[in-house]
Structure formats: C-alpha cells, structure tokens
Structure 1
Amino acid sequence: MKQTEQETFWSGEFGQQYTDRNTRDREEWDNFYQQNWGLTKSEMNARFASGWSSETRILEVGCNTGMQLRGLQDAGFTNLYGVELQPYAVEKAKQTTQHINIIQGSGFDLPFRDDFFDVVCTNGVLIHIAPDDLPKIMDEMVRCSRRYIWGFEYYSPELSSIPYRGNEGFLWKADYAALFQQRHPSLKLVKQELYPYVNTSESGNVDYMYLLEKTA
C-alpha cells in the first residue's frame, strides 16, 4: 500500500526527532500530563479502564515507544499490543518494554483478524491523519475491535487544521468520537472527558478522552 504524505513525513527524520523529543520514563510521562492537564495519564486511564479484566486484550495504534502501553501494564493489564509506523520508534520500544507485543506497521492495514481485540485505542495519533484518510484508519480500528474504541486526542467541536512546528497539513483537531459515530452509527458513546490545558503556554487548548462501544 502506498504511503500517504503524512505517513512518509512521520516515518522519516521528523518522526525520529519527535520520538527522541517525546520519549519519557514512567515518572516523567506522568509528570508531563500532570503539568499540562492537572492529572497524570495513569489517572486518566483509570477513569476509563476501571473494571476491565487484567486479561483484556488491548491494541494501541500508533504506539510510538510504548509509553501508554507501559502505563497500562503498570496498571495490571497483561495482554497488550502495539502497532507503530516508524521503525526507529519500534526499535526504541523494544529496548524499553517487556512482555508487550509491538510491531512495525500501518493503522491503515492492521495485521489482525476481525474482532481480535477487546479494545483498540489511539493516543495523539488521529490528529496526524489527513481528514480524507480518517475513514480508512477508523474502519480498521472498528474491524479489529470486539467491543471498545478508546481515544485521547486534541479536541475541537469542528475539524480544523493547525500548524505544527512550521509545517501545514500534518496536524488537526476535531471531535473524533463524533467522527467515529458518523462513520459507524452503531458505536455508542460510553464516556467522554474534556481536559483543558493548565499549562499557560497552551491556554485555550483542550484535549479529551473518549470511550465508544460497539452495539452491533
């Protein structure tokens, strides 16, 4: 499958720089979220994943070096998978994770059978998918999930493009839960929380976490 413009951009040198810039150990990872949103990512995750069995099979699409997966592992989940486009990030993930199944691949063509996972999630990944390509990755995520779609992304009521480090056409914000439901009307919104930035340099921006459930 031919790479999109965004895939080429993120799998190259810019993506490597992003990985080096954003790779954190567990304590730094939670501190980063605490400083920006007033909650650790572990606390956010617990609000949505509470009550799930430790054996819940979870796939993260665009897992980078596996920080979210390590956080879920520390929370007691044992059946964790990740798909990451960037080979450099996959190699770094293999150095920093244990007993997590991380492979190199594209969210547009997930190498898993239908309904293989209980949960398929993204964390700051859909924001980097061009709007015309969103249906492809959303369809793949829904196909591979038996029950839940879980996301943490930049939020805006309307889809809008924003510059990213001097580049145009590589970052968007939207109501991604609503876009999933427009594409797949059988998805039901189970839970959603908005997280305004408490970091003054990001004042006015909002991220959000959402959980959708398949009903058909």
Structure 2
Amino acid sequence: MQHTQQEDFWSGDFGREYTDRNSRPLEEWNAFYRDLYGHTKLEMNAEFLGDLPREARILEVGCNTGMQLVGLQAAGFTNLYGVELQGYAVEKAREFVRGVNILQGSGFDLPFKDNYFDVTCTNGVLIHIAPNDLPRIMGEMVRCSGRYIMGYEYYAPETTPIKYRGNDGFLWKTDFAQVFLNNFPELRLVKQNLYPYINDAERGNQDVVYLLEKTTR
C-alpha cells in the first residue's frame, strides 16, 4: 500500500525529532498534562476506562515511544499493544516500555484480526491524518475493536488546518468523534469531554477525549 504524504513526513527526520522532543518519564508526563488542563492523563484515562477489567486488551494506534501505554500500565492494565509507523520510535519504545507488545506498522493496515481488541485508541494521532484519509484509518480501528474506540485529540467544531512548526498539510483539528459517527453508523457516542487549556482561555483552544461503542459486534 502506498504511503500517504503524512506517513512519509513522520517516518523521516521530523518524526525522529518529535520522538526525542516528546519523550518524558511518567512523572514529567503527568505534570505536563496537569499544567495544561489541571488534570493528569491518568485521571482522564480513568474517567473513560476506569470501569474496564484490567485484563482488557487495548491497542494504541500511533503509540510513538509508548508514554500513553506506560500510563495505562500505571492504572493496572496488563494486556497492552501498540502500533507505530516510525522505526526509530519503536526502538525507543522497546527501551521505554516493558511488558507491552509494540509493533512497527501503519494505522491504515493494522496487523490484527477483526474484533481482536476491547479498545482501540489514539492519542494525538488523528490530528496528523489528512481529513480525506480519516475514514481509512478510522475504519481499521473500528474493524479491530470488539467494543470501544477511544480518542484524545485536538478539538474544533469544524475541520481547521493548523501550520505545524512551519509546515502546512500535517495538522488539523476537528470533531473527530463526529467524523467516526458520520462514517460508521454502527457506532454510538458513550461519552465525550472537552478539556480547555488553562493558560489559553482567550484563544479558546481545547482538546477532547471521547469514547465510542460498537452497537453491532
């Protein structure tokens, strides 16, 4: 399958720089989210996944070095998987995370059978997928999930392009849960919360966490 422009971009030097820039120990990672929203990512995860059995099978699509997976481990989840496009990040993840199955691969072609996971999720990944390509990657997440799809992404009511470190065509914000619902009628929205930036109230920037459920399994 031919790579998208965004996949090629993230597979190269820019992706390596992102990986080095954004890898943090768990305590720093929690402090980053607390400073941003007033909530740690562990608290946000607990609000959406707290009732799941700790042996639930969870896949993160675009896991980078696995910081989110470390957070899920800290919450007690034991059956975790990650898929990451960038080989450099996969190497770093295998040093950073223990006891997690991390594979190099594309979210557009997930190497798992239908309904294999209890949850498929993204954390700041769909924002980097061109809007026309979203149904493809979302379709793979829906296919591989036996029940839930969870996302943590930038939010806007309408699709809005954003220049990313001087580059056009590599970052968008939108209502990602609604894009899922528009394309996959078998889904329903279980829950969605918006998290405004504490120090950016004037511009109104906020992120979203959503949980969707398959109604036909």
* TM superposition score normalised by structure 2: 0.98
Q: Match of 1:183?
A: 183
CA distance in 1 between partners of 2:117 and 2:10 (Å): 26
Q: Residues of 1 paired with 2:203 and 2:102: CA distance?
A: 34
Give the Å deviation of 1:160. Answer: 1.1
Contact kept? 1:194, 1:208, Cα under 8 Å: yes
String of CA shifts for 1:174-204, please: whole Å, max 9, x gaps.
Answer: 0000000000012110000000001349942
Task: Please name the residue that 1:116 is paired with.
Answer: 116
CA distance in 2, matches of 1:32, 1:199: 13
Match of 1:35 in 2: 35
The AA in structure 2 aligned to 1:187 is L
Partner of 2:105: 105
- Residue type at the aligned position of 2:11: S
2:22 is aligned with 1:22: yes
* AA in 2 matched with 1:159: T
Task: Provide the C-alpha distance between the structure 2 equivalents of 1:47 and 1:161, rounded to a whole number of angstroms.
Answer: 29
Residue matched to 1:56: 56
State whether structure 2 residue 195 is matched by structure 1 residue 195: yes
Moved more, 195-204 or 177-186: 195-204
1:2 is matched with 2
**Residue 157 of structure 1 pairs with residue 127 of structure 2:** no
CA distance in 2, matches of 1:190, 1:133: 24
Structure 1 residues 27-86: Cα deviation after superposition (integer angstroms, max 9, x where no partner): 000000001111000000000011100100000000000000010011000000000000
Runs of 4+ in 1 over 3 A off after TM superposition: 200-203
Q: How does 1:162-177 map to 2 (within 5 A)?
A: 162-177=162-177
Task: Work out whether residues 197 and 203 of structure 1, in 8 Å CA contact, stay in contact via their aligned partners in 2.
Answer: no
Counterpart CA distance in 2 for 1:86 and 1:183 is: 27
Separation in 1, partners of 2:185, 2:127 = 21
Partner of 2:76: 76
CA distance in 1, matches of 2:48, 2:200: 27
Identity level (%): 67
Structure 2: which 5+ runs fail to align? none
Question: Could you tell me which residue of structure 2 aligns to residue 212 of structure 1?
Answer: 212
Rounded Cα–Cα distance in structure 1 between residues aligned with 2:111 and 2:151? 20
State the alpha-carbon separation in 2 of the partners of residues 155 and 148 from structure 1. Answer: 20
Who is 1:86 aligned against?
A: 86
Structure 1 length-normalised TM: 0.98
Kindly indicate whether the alpha-carbon contact (under 8 Å) linking 1:34 and 1:40 is maintained by their aligned counterparts in 2. Answer: yes
Structure 1, gaps ≥5 residues long? none
Aligned partners of 1:79 and 1:100 also within 8 Å: yes
Which amino acid letter does the alignment assign opposite residue 102 of structure 1? I
CA distance in 1, matches of 2:95, 2:110: 23
Deviation at 1:172, TM superposition (A): 0.2
In 1, the alpha carbon distance for the partners of 2:201 and 2:48 equals 28
Which letter does structure 1 place at the counterpart of 2:76?
A: G
Which amino acid is 1:196 matched to?
P
